[in-house]
Amino acid sequence: MSDVPVIAIDGPSASGKGTVAALVAKELGFHYLDSGAIYRVTAYAALDRGVALDDEVGLAAMARTLNLHFDGIEVYLDGRPVGDAIRTEEAGRAASRIAALPALRAALLDLQRGFRQLPGLVTDGRDMGSVVFPDASVKVFLTATPEERANRRYKQLIDKGFDANLAALVQDLRERDARDANRASAPLRQEADAHLLETTALTIAQAVAKVLEWYRRAQAR
């Protein structure tokens, strides 16, 4: 599958990478994979089925049997949409916890790589460019300040009708950043060959345009 182009966009939680990745995919007519949603669905399924979040073997076994697919940005588990349910703060914290488990990450690796199909794939997550698609055509590390990311998440939750506390969101993001960056398996980091995209002062359109520019420049080589 090395002839199928991949744009890998990594970055911390609530940095806007999912929105940017989905719009880049739409612009190019590529498939889209939200890898964070896979971990959120796994955490959601574990909570729903009574699998302990520290049961590494049990979680890995469950992950191998997940009936999961994407339709655009909507996520389906066992044929039912779970997009809103997996984007709560509880699901996000649970996903961050289980993402540190090596056996679970290994169980989900083939599932993620299976999304690499023609004409191409745009994917976002924490280790898309470092572990899942190390040969990606373009790698991007997209980030913003914790305060800006918390503000974006706050607006997103309020718009969906969820309760949210801005100060608590900032603290939660700082803790999640530290956990993601310091985990032993596939820690969050900017790869040496990844473009840094700092979006604190950028619009979504500007961020999308920058990724498209990098991709087209890479294709022209």
Q: Tell me the binding residues for ATP.
A: 11-19
Q: Collapsing DSSP states into helix, strand and coil, what is residue 61?
A: helix
Decide the pairing of beta strands 138-143 and 121-125.
Answer: unpaired
67-73 contacts at long range (C-beta below 8 A, 24 or more positions apart):
68/38, 68/41, 68/111, 70/32, 70/33, 70/34, 70/37, 70/115, 72/22, 72/32, 73/18, 73/22, 73/32, 73/34
Other CB atoms within 10 Å distance of the CB of residue 106:
13
Annotated binding site: 11-19
Helix (H) or strand (E) holding 120: none
Pairing verdict, β 80-81 and 74-77: antiparallel
